[in-house]
Amino acid sequence: MKIGFDNEKYLNMQSEHIRERISHFDNKLYLEFGGKLYDDYHASRVLPGFAPDSKLRMLRQLSDQAEIVIVISAKDIDKNKIRGDLGITYDSDVIRLMDTYKGFGLYVGSVVITQFSGQESALLFKQRLENLGVKVYIHYNIPGYPSNIPLIISDEGYGKNDYIETTRPLVVVTAPGPGSGKMATCLSQLYHEHKRGIRAGYAKFETFPIWNLPLKHPVNLAYEAATADLNDVNMIDPFHLEAYGETTVNYNRDVEIFPVLNTMFEQIYGESPYKSPTDMGVNMAGNCICDDAVCQEASRQEIIRRYYQALNDILTGKRPETDAQKIELLMNLEHISTEERKVVSAALAREEETHGPAAALELPDGTIVTGKTSDLLGPSAAILLNAVKQLAGIPHESRVISPEAIRPIQELKVNYLKGKNPRLHTDEVLIALSTSAALNPEAKLALEQLPKLSGCQMHTSVMLSDVDLRLLKRLGIQLTCEARYEGQEK
C-alpha cells in the first residue's frame, strides 16, 4: 500500500498539541472526542498510513494525564439504538469500549447517561454498570436546549446535572456514536468546575473535516460522503476568517452552534477563550500528510465506495434515496466516476462472460483476479481462493482444497441444516482450506497469503450475504457490491 500519512509524526505532534492546550487553563481540559476513538477505519482508508487505533495510541502517550468519560443518551438506550458498523446496541458498545480502553492501559473514570427524563431502561443500565463497579452519573434533559441559555446556565439547567468527579488534567469525553451529548457533558462540567473556583477548558477533537486542507479537497469531500445521512456539509469557518483573515474548514453543525457556545462561555467565564469553531479544535492530522496525491486518490476511491454502500442500503430499505443523490453530487463536483474503480468493470465483465454472479479483486501489485459462481463456490469464496493462489505463485488449475474437505461441509449444510444452497461461503472455504493445509503444503502456503489481502479492493456483481460481508471486512478487504440481489434482473 502506498503511504500518504506519517503516523509516527501524528502521534507525537497530536499529543504535544493537547498538552499545550491543557496548559491554557487551570490544568483541566475537557476534550470532546468526535468520531471513533478506536477502530477508525474511515481515516485509515482516506489517509493511507493512518493506523485505525492511532487515536488510542496517541492517548497512551498521555495516559498518566488522561481519563476517559463515556457518554450515552438515555434516549438511545431506550430505543435500543444499533451501532451500524458493529451491529450491537449502544449500551453494549459502552461496555465493549470500556474493556478496549482498559486493555490499552487507559483509565476509564465513569459513564454519563445524558438526556435523562425518567427512562426505566436507562435506570436498569445504570444499575448494571454499578454492579460492575462503574461510576455512573446522570445528566438531565434541559427544555429548550441549546437556545434557552438563561435556563441552561443555571442551577435548574447544568446545575441540576450530577457533577462528574474526575482526577486527571485531561478528561476525554467520548461516546458510542453521534448525538450522545458529548458537548453538553463538557459544558456542564465547565459550569460545575467554575462554581468550584476552577477555570477548566474545553476543546474539540474531530479528525474530519481537516481544517487546514482546502474545502473541496477529496479528503474533506470523503467526509461529506461518509456523513451524507447526517446532513453534514463542509464550509469555510466565517468566524475564523473574520477574526484572523485565514481560510479554514469546519462543518455546518459546529459553525451553526458556535454563537450559542460563545455565549455560554461568556456566561460561565465572563469571556470566551475562542474566536471561532476552528480555535476550539486540536486536530493535527492535516500537518502529517506526507503524500497528498496518495491521500487524494484514496479519498476518491472512498467516495465511490460510499456511493455503492448508499445504493445497497437504499435497496435494503436502510436509507433514503437522497443519501445516494448527495454522494453523486460530490462525485460530479470532483469529476469522479465509478469507472475509476477498476474492479467494477472487471467483475461486470466476468459476470457477462459466465452468465452468473462474479467478483474481481485487485492485488497489491495491481493484478486483478476474478471469481465466478460454480457448483462448489460462490463468487466471493472463489475469488479468495484465486487471490491467495496468485499471491502464492500456485498455478490456477492446482487444487489447494481436497474434495474430502469440501464434501462434509456441503453435507452438513444440505442434509443436516436443511439448506438449499450447497455452495461454500467465504468462511466455509477458509475452514476447508485450513483443514487441507494440514496435509497439503500448497494449501498451507495459500493460507499464509491471507494477511496480504488487507487493503485490497474488491467488487461483486451482486450483493453478498452478511456472512461473506463480515468475513471480508475482517480480512481488511475494501468491498463494493452492485445494488442487486442474486437472480434479480439488471
How far is C-alpha 318 from the geometric centre of its chain's CA atoms?
A: 18
Question: pLDDT of 363-392, one tens digit each?
Answer: 999 999 999 998 888 899 999 999 999 999
Q: Is there a contact between 53 and 46 (Cβ–Cβ < 8 Å)?
A: no
β-strands 368-372, 358-362 pairing: antiparallel
Instruction: Output the pLDDT for position 408.
Output: 82
Q: Residue 312: which pLDDT band, with cuts at 50, 70 and 90?
A: very high
Q: Residue 482: which pLDDT band, with cuts at 50, 70 and 90?
A: very high
Question: Which residue pairs from 364-370 have beta carbons closer than 8 angstroms and sit at least 24 positions apart in sequence?
Answer: 364/1, 364/452, 364/455, 364/456, 368/342, 368/343, 370/346
Phi, psi of 25 (to 5 degrees): -120, -170
Q: Which residues contact 361 (CB under 8 A, 6 or more apart)?
A: 343, 368, 369, 370, 371, 383, 386, 387, 453, 456, 457, 458, 477
Q: Which three cell numbers stand for residue 278?
A: 476552528
Question: pLDDT of 318-328, one tens digit each?
Answer: 899 999 999 99
Residue positions counted in the chain = 490
Return the beta strands (E) in 23-121 as ranges: 29-33, 66-73, 82-83, 88-89, 107-116
Q: Which residues contact 55 (CB under 8 A, 6 or more apart)?
A: 33, 36, 37, 38, 40, 205, 207
Q: Across all residues in the chain, what is the average pLDDT? A: 93
Q: Is there a contact between 193 and 166 (Cβ–Cβ < 8 Å)?
A: no
* Helix extents (H) in 198-251: 218-226, 238-244
Q: Is there a common fold for 7-288 and 341-481? A: no
- Whole-angstrom distance, CA of residue 288 vs CA of residue 177: 26
- Whole-angstrom distance, CA of residue 327 vs CA of residue 344: 18
Query: Residue 117 burial (CB < 10 Å; 0-12/13-18/19+)?
Result: exposed
Instruction: Output the pLDDT for position 468.
Output: 92
Question: pLDDT of 404-440, one tens digit each?
Answer: 777 888 788 878 877 777 778 899 899 999 989 988 9
Q: Which helix (H) or strand (E) holds 55?
A: helix 54-60
Q: Is there a contact between 14 and 284 (Cβ–Cβ < 8 Å)?
A: yes
Q: Is there a contact between 113 and 137 (Cβ–Cβ < 8 Å)?
A: yes
- Please check whether the domain covering 341-481 is classified as CATH 3.40.140.40: yes
Q: Give the start-to-end residue ranges of the domains of the chain.
A: 7-288, 341-481
Q: Percent of the chain having pLDDT more than 70?
A: 99
Instruction: Output the pLDDT for position 489.
Output: 64
Q: Which residues contact 51 (CB under 8 A, 6 or more apart)?
A: 7, 44, 57
- Three-class SS state of 371: strand
Question: pLDDT of 86-132, one tens digit each?
Answer: 778 999 999 999 999 999 899 999 999 999 999 999 999 999 999 99
- Whole-angstrom distance, CA of residue 54 vs CA of residue 51: 5
Instruction: Output the pLDDT for position 490.
Output: 62
Instruction: Output the pLDDT for position 229.
Output: 87
> Residue 307 is which amino acid?
Y
Indicate whether 448 pLDDT > 90.
yes
Report which DSSP code applies to 339. G
> Residue 41 is which amino acid?
Y
Classify domain 7-288 by CATH number.
Answer: 3.10.630.10
Instruction: Output the pLDDT for position 85.
Output: 66
Q: Is there a contact between 116 and 75 (Cβ–Cβ < 8 Å)?
A: no
β-strands 368-372, 66-73 pairing: unpaired
pTM over 0.85? The answer is yes
β-strands 170-174, 29-33 pairing: parallel
